[in-house]
A and B are shown apart, each in its own frame.
Chain A
């Protein structure tokens, strides 16, 4: 599996382009690598084809914030909320709570 590392600003343009090509969002995956939080976007683009994009968010003591792609692709709503509640990375424009109780804070984030 290959994922192209892009910046947040580039990602917005890429997602717009993918939407125009009728690609569908599979999901958004977050992963804590120690120093950074990686956010990987998976798109299905054709028979047997996927395009994957990775953005790297440096940890900033819980003050990380990324741009939302929900305004472009509404299907990202649950995944972006889950990313927020599981890793503590705020996503602009989404509430950031879907599955977990407000008392539970970023359980997949490592120290």
Chain B
């Protein structure tokens, strides 16, 4: 007998609202209907205003990858302003912030994944480590979540020598903590058995559906914007995409765990570059945004894309935000179809869905 179950919009496994209409036969999901739009805020329309204020607005698209959004938006607008060159120090600071943000986002995603399979203590542990990253944000930018340091043309806050040392010390501390998390997860028979072989996305499927970020890399698709379209300091500090072959929940989570160490390594390479770089944080342009430009950055959840069109005035003509979850959204339903009801939460949470990003 077939039964229809409503999974969401309010469900304990997700923080944000998304609705899955599951048609089940016993324990098995036979059909899925995905409904989004519960937090649609019409942000693309709101972007048609002063580009200086819009940098702050872009942070509000998503509170987890706030720095990625504002960086991507600023890179997009800066490309439409003739003669505007981003100071090197600002580029380094932006890149350090991007990697710090990846750290805290991955700790959050790993924690939530473990919570979805019943390891609440591990969730607490991951969040305790995430707090350390947020403390660094508070020390460097003044804010734990919405940092507000990116403006078109540069950044508003410097990282001085003392703060640089503090960040390097933090790297040593967080590396130990990340190793602890890795040891617990990788050596745990229970976690592995619960996640291996669940929600398998094949390489062919990942390419067809155009998924991005750890979801794509967990399915053996080496697509990482830091490598595929280097921006900011990634032109100098080379990044090799971290790839897992199996495409299941375990592979996606493992990519995130391995990327923690990659980010720590990148921060360690980036911080010494601040030494000797002129203290210039901001470049001013007399030109107004004119013409079209696109910008792409690798957010923790995957590729983030901004299209910006200026009209030679302070107001922008059109801004399109294509977020990572927007790219991954199509992959959710095919994986759930054919799985058990008990796996629905786990499969969706390994996508690290951000519905605020998805709906905008």
Residues on the B chain within 8 Å of A3, using CB: 292
- Pair B330/A1 contact, Cβ less than 8 Å: no
Contact of B330 among A77, A99, A100 (CB under 8 A): A77
Contact of A44 among B37, B44, B228, B318 (CB under 8 A): B228
In this complex, what residue of A is CB-closest to B231?
A48
- Pair B330/A40 contact, Cβ less than 8 Å: no
How far does the Cβ of A75 sit from chain B's closest Cβ, in whole Å? Answer: 3
- Pair B294/A44 contact, Cβ less than 8 Å: no
- Pair B305/A42 contact, Cβ less than 8 Å: yes
Q: A1-B294, A86-B44 are in contact. List 5 more A-B contacts (CB 8 A).
A: A1-B292, A26-B296, A47-B227, A99-B359, A107-B42
The 9 A-B pairs with the shortest beta carbon distances in the complex, nearest first, are A75-B210, A99-B37, A27-B322, A29-B320, A31-B318, A29-B307, A99-B40, A1-B292, A1-B293
CA distance A72 to B307 in the complex (A): 24
- Pair B305/A27 contact, Cβ less than 8 Å: yes
Q: Is B317 an interface residue (CB 8 A)?
A: yes
How far does the Cβ of A26 sit from chain B's closest Cβ, in whole Å? Answer: 6
How far does the Cβ of B81 sit from chain A's closest Cβ, in whole Å? Answer: 13
Within B323-355, the residues touching A (CB, 8 Å) are: 326-327, 329-330
Known: A26-B296, A107-B45. A48 touches B229 (CB 8 A): yes
Please report A residues at the B interface, Cβ cutoff 8 Å: 1, 3, 22, 24-27, 29-32, 40, 42, 44, 47-48, 50, 52, 73-75, 77-79, 86, 98-101, 107-108
The 6 sampled A-B contact pairs (Cβ below 8 Å) are A22-B207, A26-B303, A27-B326, A29-B320, A42-B294, A75-B327
In this complex, what residue of A is CB-closest to B303?
A26
Q: How large is the interface on B (under 10, 10 to 19, 20 to 34, 35 or more residues)?
A: 20 to 34
How far does the Cβ of B263 sit from chain A's closest Cβ, in whole Å? Answer: 21
How far does the Cβ of B96 sit from chain A's closest Cβ, in whole Å? Answer: 23
Please report B residues at the A interface, Cβ cutoff 8 Å: 36-37, 40, 42, 44-45, 79, 207-210, 223, 227-230, 291-294, 296, 303, 305, 307, 309, 317-318, 320, 322, 326-327, 329-330, 359
How far does the Cβ of A47 sit from chain B's closest Cβ, in whole Å? Answer: 6
Residues on the A chain within 8 Å of B327, using CB: 27, 75
Residues on the A chain within 8 Å of B294, using CB: 1, 42, 50, 52
Residues on the A chain within 8 Å of B292, using CB: 1, 3
Residues on the A chain within 8 Å of B326, using CB: 27, 78
In this complex, what residue of B is CB-closest to A99?
B37
- Pair B305/A101 contact, Cβ less than 8 Å: no
